[in-house]
Chain A
Amino acid sequence: MDTIMEATKVSFSYDEAPEAPLVLDDISLTVRQGEFLAVLGHNGSGKSTLAKHFNAILLPQKGRVVVGGMDTADEEKLYDIRQTVGMVFQNPDNQIVATIVEEDVAFALENMGVPPAEIRRRVDDALRSVGMYEYREHAPHQLSGGQKQRIAIAGIIAMRPRCIVLDEPTAMLDPRGRAEVMKTLRELNREHGITIALITHYMDEAAQCDRVVVVDRGKLLMDGLPREVFSRVEELKAVGLDVPQVTELMHSLRRAGLPVREDIITEEECAEELCRLLGKGGTA
């Protein structure tokens, strides 16, 4: 697979002073086209700062970031870089630009020179996929928190970039809304091959990704399959993180002396394993 985003030995600080602490400390990360990646880390660990490096909102002070073959420091490529990597920000209000929902979703497309009929189609599709089609003529500032978040997501979906970076897109959503957003992202990834990088504090969402990266105080602490990363329960807790409820349950059953598998990260696996345990308990 081709590399779509690559950070090489990136260091960054918001403060120019030489002794100021580094927010990103010599981070290297390669994301391949078509990957579905989760980024975890405690508050202030540097996740948003890293994300902003991938569409040239911030530039590395040391090291290099390359996106779709373009160096983010190359000012002439800025437009193409932002076309390649779409970003959903942590606070959707910072993202909303127009006074009508559908105009907001269409905004970037208009700037990209997409023909009107195509814009119409993409905007409607994007709004439907986040369940906000009925609100297309509303004013964004008159929406609830979760509704605004969905509009911000629709705006990026409509752009169809090769890669989408989402900074805690589900933080304000209800459980069904979270599940719907995950489903939409999975479809974009599987059916359209769009690379997804998802920053989240929800461990069950990370468990559904193909790869999990953990950031701790500006450094890359872990990088692997969800099953590998979530098996490191104690280490994760030590850096302010957690594991999915079902993983935690299996660990606590093991600690209580019951013979259950410990590498469980999804609900289905957990139900299977408990069936086995309880079935056996009843018949043995």
Chain B
Amino acid sequence: MTAIRTEHLTHTYSPNTPFQKVAVEDVSIAIEEGEYVGVIGHTGSGKSTLIQHLNGLLAPTSGKVFIGEEDLWADKAKLRSFRFAVGLVFQYPEYQLFGETVYSDIAFGPTNMGLTPDEVDSRVRQAARFVGLTEEKLQKSPFELSGGQKRRVAIAGVLAMDPRVLILDEPTAGLDPKGRDKILGEIREYHQEKKNTILLVSHSMEDIAKNATMALVMNQARLFCYDRVEEVFGRGEELSRMGLAVPQVSRVFLSLAKRGIPIDPRVYTVEAARDEIIRCVKEGRQGK
């Protein structure tokens, strides 16, 4: 079943002014339920604009958005329920924080959904554990947190709503390496357990390679492609022309391949790189 679909979606900011900007142009895409989609594209390519249409935060200038089979904008009274079904963590989550305490901030979504206080409490605590926030932080004001800690609170707030579709706009920007791996690991487990649909906007090709099944590439407001991750990453030259440099190990492997070493340059993670080198060394030995 399709989780989210857009039909000829176009969004123009400040129309009929000198600053008119077509940020998303004629994007038609169908995302199947249960897919883990990595969204990539250069700065200003339209990623944030696109995903803000998927829970009705932005209205299309033209074109349509469907959640399941339903037209998102057909009945305005239903918008609210779509916001619970499609949870969005913003690129600058600071703006998402407004509670007196971290606890009340995370509790905001589930409370609004009409859950019982007990249910809300257990969701808050579970979500906080998910993102690595300690009990002691729950009673603090969100404004007394470091940049990375604020980001964790914003992610927890959306996870606590347990949305059918979870959209994260660069959730790991500003997280330390351990925090990044932990949150992505938790999201991966969450995805495996709940079989929900996930969209992860990221500038890290490594994170996409490790997590996503599908990749959606935006380029200058248009959909460049939507395909399986391996297929998309196989188009390395095109991606790097768009400013989407591949991970460090991939660049090293590309330069080795150029020097005539018989190595497969399609590696994106340290583990894959290690295995490929070990394979090459063994083959070199056997070749003698």
In the complex formed, the residue of B with least CB distance to A177 is: B43
Indicate if A93 sits at the interface (CB-CB under 8 A).
yes
Q: In the complex, are the beta carbons of B270 and A249 less than 8 A apart? A: yes
Closest-CB distance, B252 to chain A (whole angstroms): 5
Among B41, B147, B180, B287, which residue has its beta carbon within 8 angstroms of that of A282? B287
Instruction: Give A118 to B97 CA distance when docked, in angstroms.
Output: 41
A61 within 8 A of partner (CB): no
Q: CB within 8 Å of B: which of A36-78?
A: 41-44, 48
- Please report which residues of chain B, range 82-114, place their CB below 8 angstroms from some CB of chain A when the two chains form the complex: 91-92, 94
Quick one: CB contact mask for A128-166 with B, threshold 8 Å, 1 for yes? 000000000111001111110000000000000000000
Q: Is A231 an interface residue (CB 8 A)?
A: no
Chain A min CB distance to B253 (Å):
9
Chain A's closest residue to B179 (CB) is A43
A249 touches B249 (CB 8 A): yes
Given contacts A93-B92, A144-B43, A267-B252, contact A176 B176 (CB under 8 A): no
CB distance from B166 to the nearest CB of A (A): 19
B44 contacts A242, C-beta separation under 8 Å:
no
List the count of A-B residue pairs having beta carbons below 8 Å apart.
159
Stretch at the interface among A26-34, A167-175, A183-191: A167-175
Asked if A222 is an interface residue, CB under 8 A from chain B, the answer is no
* Contact status B146-A267, CB under 8 Å: no
Complex CA gap A271/B285 in Å reads 20
Determine whether the beta carbon of A241 is less than 8 Å from that of B203.
no
Q: In the complex, A91 Cα to B97 Cα: how many Å?
A: 14
Whether B170 pairs with A145 at a CB distance below 8 angstroms is yes
A204 to chain B, nearest CB (A): 6
Q: Interface extent on A, as a size class?
A: 35 or more
Q: CA–CA, A38 to B70, complex, Å?
A: 50
A174-B203 contact, Cβ under 8 Å, with A168-B147, A249-B274: yes
Given A142-B21, A253-B274, A281-B281, A204 contacting B173 (CB threshold 8 A): no
Q: Does B74 contact A (CB under 8 A)?
A: no
Q: Which of B13, B145, B248, B256 contacts A275 (CB 8 A)?
A: B256
B105-140 residues at the A interface, CB under 8 angstroms:
none
Asked if residues A147 and B178 are in contact (CB atoms below 8 Å), the reply is no
Check B212 for interface membership: any CB of A closer than 8 A: no
In the bound complex, residues from chain A placing their C-beta under 8 Å from that of B94 are 91, 93
Q: Is the Cβ of A278 less than 8 Å from the Cβ of B256?
A: yes
A226-252 interface bits toward B, Cβ cutoff 8 Å, 1 = contact, 0 = none: 000000000001001110111011001
- A258: CB under 8 A from chain B? yes
A97 to chain B, nearest CB (A): 17
Please judge, given known A-B contacts A90-B174, A256-B274, whether A246 and B146 are in contact too, CB under 8 Å. Answer: no
CA gap between A249 and B272 in the complex, in Å:
10
- Chain B positions near chain A (C-beta within 8 angstroms): 13-14, 18-19, 21, 41-44, 48, 91-92, 94, 144-149, 152, 170, 173-180, 203, 205-206, 243-245, 247-249, 251-252, 255-256, 259, 261, 263, 270-271, 273-274, 277-278, 280-281, 284-285, 287-288
5 pairs, A vs B, C-beta closer than 8 Å: A144-B44, A174-B41, A174-B203, A175-B245, A281-B284
Shortest 5 CB-CB contacts between residues of A and residues of B: A43-B148, A146-B43, A281-B284, A176-B243, A175-B245
